[in-house]
C-alpha cells in the first residue's frame, strides 16, 4: 500500500528543532500516488509540496491561508485550478440552480394551492347558501322537512361512484370497482366492511346525520336563513368543548373565549325578538343541529380517526345506503300519522327536491375534496362565508330587516368562529414575531444613535461634510 506515514514521537524523546523536508498531509485511510511512475521514490520532492489532498486543497496554500486568517477563507476550497476543479464548480452551480428551481417550484405550488383553495371556498359557500335558500323555496309548496332530509341523504350513495370516476380519469394504475371498494373499506377496520360493522359503525352516524339536517330544516321554518346559518357556526365551539372533555385535546384559553362568545351570541339571538315562541324554538332547533353536528364529528374522530378522500367517499356512500334501507320507514310512518302529508308523487316539487339534494351532495364533496387539495382552514372559512351570503340574499330578495341586537349576535358568533380557527401554536408564533420585530426596531434605533453621535463628533472637530453631486 502506497501511503506516507507521519513520523511518530515517543514519550522518551526530547523535542529537537531541525529543518525537515516538507511533506504532504493526507486524510487518514486515503492513499497518495507517488510522483515517480513506479511509485518507488519515497524521498520528499517538489511534487509532494504541490500534491492535492482528498478534498482538493493544496497543502501550502491551505496552511498559509489558515495561518494568515485570510478573510473569506474556508478550509477545503482553493482558488487554484486542479484537475477536477471545473467539475466541482459545475456541480456547485448545478446544485445552486437546482435549489433555486426547487424554491420556485415550491412557491408556484403554494400559490396554486392558495388560489385553488380560494376557488373551493367560493364554491363551498355558494353551495351552502344555495342549499339553504332552495330549502326555504321548497317550504312554500312542500313543508315536509324529514322527507327532504331523507331524500337528500339518499344521494350520498353517489359519492363513491363519483370518486371512482375521478380515480379512473386521474390515475394511471387502474383498479376495478371491487378492489377500490375493498381498499377504501379499511376505514372500518382491517377486516373491511362486514355486516356487524356496517350496523355498529354506520347506525349511530346515520342517526346523528339525520338529526343534524332535520333540525336544521326545522329551524329554517322558524328563523331566517342568516340566523340559522350563524347559529349553526356554533358547532365549531361545541366540537372544541367535546374534544377537550372526551378526547382530552389540548386546552387553549382563546378557544374557551370563543366558546363563551358563541354562547353569548346564542343568548342575544334568542333575546332579539323578545323571547317569544317562534324565536326561542327556532334558536333551540338551530343550536340542537349544531350540537348533533359537533357530536358526529367528535365520534367520527374517536372511532374512525382521520380518513383520505377514498375512505370518506366510501363512508358517505355507506351512510346513504343505510339511510335508504333502514330509515325509509320513518317517512312512511310520518305520512300515515299525518305529521308530514303530501299528495301523489306527481305533485311533488321534484325540481326543488333534486336541487336541494344536488347542492347538499356538492357541498359534502367539496368539503372532503377541499381538505385534500388545499388548506383545511379555508374550508372552515367557506362555511363561515355562508352567513354574509345568506344575509345578502335575505336583504336583496326577501327584504329582511335585521335588528341591531341580531346583527351584533351574528358578528359575535362569527368572531368566535374565527378565533377557533387559530392554530395551537399561535401564541408562541406571535411571541416570536413580536420579539423579532422588537429586536429589529432596537437595532434600527441603535444605528440611528450611532449615526447621530458620529455626526455630532464630526461637527465638534470642525469637519464639514460636503454632499456629492
> Average pLDDT for residues 123-138, to the nearest whole number?
94
Among 145-154, 342-351, 437-446, the least confident range:
437-446
- Percent of the chain at pLDDT > 70 equals 71
The model's pLDDT over 29-39, given as tens digits with 9 standing for 90+, comes to: 444 444 444 44
| Predicted pLDDT of residue 63 | 55
| Predicted pLDDT of residue 80 | 43
**Residue 17 scores a pLDDT above 60:** no
The model's pLDDT over 213-257, given as tens digits with 9 standing for 90+, comes to: 999 999 999 999 999 999 999 999 999 999 888 888 777 888 899
| Predicted pLDDT of residue 33 | 43
| Predicted pLDDT of residue 46 | 42
The model's pLDDT over 67-83, given as tens digits with 9 standing for 90+, comes to: 544 444 444 444 444 44
Q: Count the neighbouring beta carbons within 10 Å of the beta carbon of residue 263.
A: 17
Domain residue extents for the chain: 16-81, 105-421
User: First and final CA of the chain: distance in angstroms?
Assistant: 70
> Average pLDDT for residues 194-206, to the nearest whole number?
88
DSSP 228-277: HHHHHTTHHHHHHHHHHHTS-PPP-HHHHHHHHHHHHHHHHHHHTTTS-H
| Predicted pLDDT of residue 83 | 43
pLDDT band for 91, please (50, 70, 90 cuts). low
**Residue 27 scores a pLDDT above 80:** no
| Predicted pLDDT of residue 102 | 66
403: left (phi over 0), alpha (psi -120 to 50) or beta: beta
**Residue 147 scores a pLDDT above 90:** yes
Pseudo-torsion of CA 116, 122, 125, 131, nearest 10°? -110
> Average pLDDT for residues 354-359, to the nearest whole number?
96
pLDDT band for 93, please (50, 70, 90 cuts). low
pLDDT band for 395, please (50, 70, 90 cuts). very high
pLDDT band for 289, please (50, 70, 90 cuts). very high
Cell numbers placing 27: 486524510
- Percent of the chain at pLDDT > 90 equals 38
Taking a C-beta distance cutoff of 8 angstroms, is the pair 265, 409 a contact? yes
CA distances from 87 to 81, 95, 381, 406 (A): 11, 12, 52, 72
Amino acid at each position: 500500500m502506497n501511503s506516507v506515514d507521519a513520523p511518530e514521537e515517543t514519550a522518551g524523546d526530547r523535542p529537537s528543532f531541525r529543518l525537515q523536508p516538507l511533506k504532504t498531509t493526507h486524510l487518514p485511510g486515503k492513499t497518495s500516488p507517488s510522483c515517480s511512475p513506479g511509485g518507488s521514490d519515497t524521498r520528499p520532492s517538489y511534487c509532494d509540496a504541490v500534491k492535492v489532498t482528498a478534498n482538493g486543497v493544496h497543502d501550502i496554500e491551505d496552511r498559509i491561508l489558515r495561518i494568515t486568517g485570510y478573510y473569506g477563507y474556508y478550509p477545503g476550497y482553493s482558488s487554484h485550478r486542479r484537475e477536477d476543479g471545473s467539475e466541482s464548480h459545475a456541480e456547485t452551480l448545478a446544485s445552486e440552480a437546482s435549489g433555486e428551481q426547487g424554491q420556485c417550484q415550491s412557491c408556484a405550488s403554494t400559490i396554486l394551492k392558495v388560489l385553488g383553495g380560494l376557488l373551493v371556498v367560493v364554491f363551498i359557500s355558494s353551495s351552502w347558501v344555495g342549499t339553504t335558500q332552495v330549502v326555504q323555496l321548497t317550504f312554500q309548496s312542500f313543508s315536509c322537512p324529514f322527507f327532504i332530509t331523507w331524500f337528500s341523504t339518499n344521494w350520498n350513495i353517489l359519492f363513491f361512484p363519483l370518486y371512482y370516476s375521478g380515480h379512473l380519469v386521474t390515475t394511471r394504475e387502474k383498479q376495478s370497482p371491487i378492489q377500490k371498494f375493498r381498499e377504501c373499506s379499511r376505514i372500518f377496520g382491517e377486516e373491511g366492511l362486514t355486516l356487524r360493522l356496517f350496523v355498529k359503525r354506520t347506525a349511530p352516524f346515520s342517526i346523528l346525520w339525520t338529526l343534524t339536517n332535520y333540525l336544521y330544516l326545522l329551524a329554517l321554518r322558524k328563523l331566517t336563513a342568516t340566523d340559522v346559518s350563524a347559529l349553526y357556526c356554533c358547532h365549531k365551539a361545541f366540537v372544541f368543548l367535546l374534544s377537550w372533555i372526551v378526547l382530552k385535546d389540548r386546552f387553549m384559553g382563546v378557544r374557551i373565549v370563543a366558546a363563551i362568545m358563541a354562547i353569548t351570541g346564542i343568548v342575544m339571538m334568542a333575546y332579539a325578538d323578545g323571547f317569544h315562541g317562534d324565536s326561542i324554538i327556532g334558536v333551540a332547533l338551530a343550536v340542537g343541529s349544531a350540537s348533533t353536528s359537533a357530536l358526529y364529528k367528535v365520534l367520527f374522530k374517536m372511532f374512525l380517526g382521520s380518513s383520505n378522500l377514498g375512505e370518506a367517499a366510501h363512508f358517505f356512500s355507506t351512510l346513504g345506503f343505510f339511510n335508504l334501507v333502514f330509515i325509509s320507514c320513518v317517512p312512511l310512518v310520518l305520512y300515515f300519522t299525518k305529521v308530514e302529508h303530501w299528495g301523489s308523487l306527481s305533485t311533488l316539487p321534484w325540481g326543488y327536491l333534486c336541487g336541494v339534494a344536488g347542492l347538499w351532495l356538492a357541498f359534502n364533496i367539496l368539503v372532503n375534496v377541499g381538505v385534500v387539495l388545499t388548506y383545511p382552514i379555508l374550508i372552515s372559512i367557506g362555511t363561515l362565508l355562508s352567513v354574509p351570503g345568506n344575509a345578502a340574499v335575505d336583504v336583496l330578495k326577501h327584504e329582511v330587516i335585521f335588528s341591531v341586537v341580531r346583527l351584533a349576535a351574528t358578528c359575535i358568533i362569527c368572531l368566535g368562529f374565527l378565533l377557533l380557527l387559530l392554530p395551537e401554536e399561535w401564541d408562541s408564533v406571535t411571541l416570536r414575531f413580536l420579539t423579532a420585530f422588537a429586536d429589529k426596531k432596537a437595532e434600527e434605533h441603535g444605528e440611528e444613535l450611532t449615526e447621530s453621535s458620529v455626526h455630532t463628533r464630526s461637527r465638534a472637530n470642525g469637519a464639514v461634510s460636503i454632499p456629492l453631486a
